[in-house]
Amino acid sequence: MSKTVGNAQYQALAEFRFRIRQFLRGSDAAAEEAGIEPRQYQMLLAVRGLPPGQVASIRTLASQLFLRHHSAVEMIDRLEDKGYVARNRSVEDRRQVIVSLLPCGERLLERLARSRLEELRASGLTLVKALTRLLKSNGKARRSRKHIYMRRTGR
């Protein structure tokens, strides 16, 4: 791997970061238009999007959103006040609190997720192209150094 980052890599990294931020900004705007905070949308998505067999405990959700436990609790409090989620104690471990979506939260999340998926279908190719350029820019730099080395040494 190269010790220096080339211009093509900087450009590809900047483009990729821009495309990610563009998508996330759209997600934030869609959440705000729906009447919730962007982080609340992320919380609803985290609750619904966990893989099978993984429960939506406060700890798991906090980890998914890179939040401290108490911040996740406060966010869940606000979502519960709006009628989007419910909390229940785990049957196996009564100390553990499990969060689940209520029908109102399901409907809101469905509407938001549908719009975000439509956006990805429309502009996701540019995100993929930016990532591809980023990954190729690293590979090109390695190949070109290898070819220079081979030419210099005659190998």
3-class SS letters over 18-85: HHHHHHHHHHHHHHHHCCCCHHHHHHHHHHHHCCCCCCCEHHHHHHHCCCCHHHHHHHHHHHHHCCCE
Identify the DSSP state of 92.
Answer: S
pLDDT digits (tens, 9 = 90+) for 127-140: 899 899 888 876 55
In a domain, 112, yes or no: yes
In a domain, 1, yes or no: no
Domain CATH code at residue 103? 1.10.10.10
> What is the distance between the alpha carbons of residues 113 and 139, in angstroms, rounded to a whole number?
35
Looking at 44-53, 99-108, 125-134, which range is the least confident one? Answer: 125-134
> What is the distance between the alpha carbons of residues 36 and 65, in angstroms, rounded to a whole number?
16
% pLDDT > 70, the chain: 87
Domain count, the chain: 1
Exposure string over 125-139, b if 16+ CB within 10 A, otherwise e: eebeebeebbeebbe
- Domain with 120, as residue range(s), is 7-153
Question: Average pLDDT in the 104-110 region?
Answer: 98
Query: pTM higher than 0.85, yes or no?
Result: no
- Of 59, 69, 68, 61, the residue nearest 40 (C-alpha): 61
Q: Would you state the pLDDT for residue 146?
A: 52
In a domain, 2, yes or no: no
